[in-house]
Chains A and B, each alone.
Chain A
Amino acid sequence: MKAKIVITPKKAVLDPQGKTVQTALEHMGYDGVKAVHVGKYLEIELEGDAESWQPKIDEACHKLLSNPVIEDYHFTIE
């Protein structure tokens, strides 16, 4: 069982990496790229049942894995 966590920069936060990747994609000829956001992906291998991990992973995301001031997160446990 794994928790799969995706962390992305909040909309209001400057994302120069995303902008740079977007420009690169445009230069490569990919038309219609509206925006790129560069974030993080974490996988945490777990044992036990998914339901009891749900609040714990949420807490870990809030306290350590993301910074709520600058980032949003979402995750699945499967």
Chain B
Amino acid sequence: MRFAVLQFPGSNCDQDCVHVLSNVLGQDADYLWHKEESIGDADAVVVPGGFSYGDYLRTGSIAQFSPVMNAVKAFANAGGLVIGICNGFQILCETGLLPGALVRNRSLQFRCETIYLKVPTTDSPFTSEVPEGKLLRVPIAHGEGCYFAADEALAKLRANDQIIFQYATETGELTDEANPNGSLLNIAGICNEGRNVCGMMPHPERASENVLGVDDGRLVFESMLRHLEAKTGVGQAVTAEA
């Protein structure tokens, strides 16, 4: 599969994403500069973490107007798979591809630590490979990851099972202590109503190899791969032979 990994001025997780997709998962992954107006023949788009445009004005606010985002919007609206990680999540909220917004952490601290993620639903192209009930151990690193949405939008997220990652304790409880930033409903990641666009604050690309101590994040990318393979038919023969 071919992944396009966007690069804005100030992106800094783009190389990690390309590394995991190409060297760990054996896929094609290309950088895509923000001034490009097309995503080419990519099967999926990754909006990586970092500090696009220095986080000026608001996180993700300037990046939403980069030429490449028009192409990403069109791709997403046509059902294309898009994942935004950390600053990528903030950008996708600013563009309106995902509801809500991410504001300053309740503690006012930049939080850099490894947390537990509960996966409330495996019914998404980003969580389908996560074994039922498994908690993911994935790092976070952000100062503005407090998810906010108005009551009506939150109710919609719950009703449609769009909350796909939540900060939890190591036993899977959704407590205030386990919530590193004050996100409503302990939200760490959501998908859109069409379930093809995901945003998450934690960094699965930093937890996709055992040599780094944990590889739970790999399940997110593997879920995307299975979804793409099922959609295009590629990979099914291999599975059958195996």
Contact = CB atoms under 8 A, between A and B. Distances in A.
Same complex origin of A and B:
yes
Interface of A: 9, 12-14, 16-17, 20, 40, 64-65, 67, 69-70
A20 B108 contact: yes
9 contacts: A9-B103, A13-B148, A14-B103, A16-B105, A16-B106, A16-B108, A69-B99, A69-B100, A69-B148
Interface of B: 57-58, 61, 65, 93-94, 99-101, 103-108, 146, 148-151, 182
B148 A70 contact: yes
Among B94, B103, B150, the most chain A Cβ lie within 10 Å of the Cβ of B103
A16 B94 CA distance: 21
Contacts of A12: 148, 150-151
Contacts of B58: 67
The 9 closest A-B CB pairs, nearest first, are: A69-B101, A70-B101, A16-B108, A16-B106, A13-B148, A67-B101, A14-B182, A70-B103, A70-B148
Contacts of A9: 103
B11 to A, nearest CB: 20
B148 A16 contact: no
The secondary structure that dominates the B interface is: loop
Nearest to A42: B57
Nearest to A64: B61
Contacts of B61: 64, 67
Nearest to A63: B65
B105 to A, nearest CB: 7
Contacts of B182: 14, 16
B150 A17 contact: no
A24 to B, nearest CB: 12
B146 A14 contact: yes
